[in-house]
Chain A
Amino acid sequence: ETGVTQSPTHLIKTRGQQVTLRCSSQSGHNTVSWYQQALGQGPQFIFQYYREEENGRGNFPPRFSGLQFPNYSSELNVNALELDDSALYLCASSLSPHGEQYFGPGTRLTVT
């Protein structure tokens, strides 16, 4: 157990809808990173939040957005869902932007 929690565990949405995924970081960690993992692939970096500010972004369109709250928990929002958004979404928290990352169990999103 890493102390990083994610909700919900599973989610089914329809194409065009919007979704919000949540992540609670490990106590004392001020950095949260989000990753998308398609079936059979390695995780791909979406973005990172450090002290409530975006601190780096991967090659994802603007309809992927995020927030980090004062308690360092975080949300990932995806608008206008597409079928290819179906994946396991992982968040990871760390003590600092370059620190060791501790991953949560993930949210499996299915878009139909």
Chain B
Amino acid sequence: SQQGEEDPQALSIQEGENATMNCSYKTSINNLQWYRQNSGRGLVHLILIRSNEREKHSGRLRVTLDTSKKSSSLLITASRAADTASYFCAQNTGTASKLTFGTGTRLQVTL
């Protein structure tokens, strides 16, 4: 079963705009990771944020984590058409490196 949920389920923006996706989860985590997936292919790792971190940046990506609210957000600034994909948050919990994924946000960036 999915532990987390992304919001919104779908997002359509124009190139150059910012895109914000939110993720909520249910149990304590070791870390939270964001992935991108193009057209049902493999997942590409974007960024990992540990449970004791509150914010992390990587290029045009900014991730925040609020463990008290069990939520995270992914901000993509100055979006490009190539950012069109599905974005998933995944929680790492337990002793194994098990990742629990949400249902994803489908981002469409138009010219």
| Residues of chain A having any CB pair with chain B under 8 Å | 2, 4, 31, 33, 35, 37, 39-45, 48, 50, 55-56, 58-59, 88, 90, 92, 94, 96-106, 108
By the criterion CB–CB under 8 Å, are B45 and A90 in contact? no
When the two chains form the complex, which single residue of B42, B45, B98, B102 contacts A100, counting CB atoms closer than 8 Å? B45
Tell me which of B14-22, B63-71, B73-81, B87-95 binds A: B87-95
By the criterion CB–CB under 8 Å, are A103 and B44 in contact? yes
Supply 7 further A-B pairs (C-beta < 8 A) apart from A2-B44, A31-B97: A42-B88, A48-B97, A92-B43, A96-B97, A98-B97, A101-B33, A106-B41
CB distance from A61 to the nearest CB of B (A): 15
Instruction: Note all chain B residues with C-beta closer than 8 A to A33.
Output: 96-99
Beyond A41-B2, A42-B2, is A101–B99 a contact (Cβ under 8 Å)?
Answer: yes
Instruction: Note all chain B residues with C-beta closer than 8 A to A97.
Output: 95-97
CB distance from A5 to the nearest CB of B (A): 10
Query: Interface size for chain B: under 10, 10 to 19, 20 to 34, or 35 or more residues?
Result: 20 to 34
Instruction: Note all chain B residues with C-beta closer than 8 A to A39.
Output: 40
CB distance from A56 to the nearest CB of B (A): 3
Tell me which of B2, B92, B95, B97 has the highest count of chain A C-beta atoms within 10 A of its own C-beta: B97
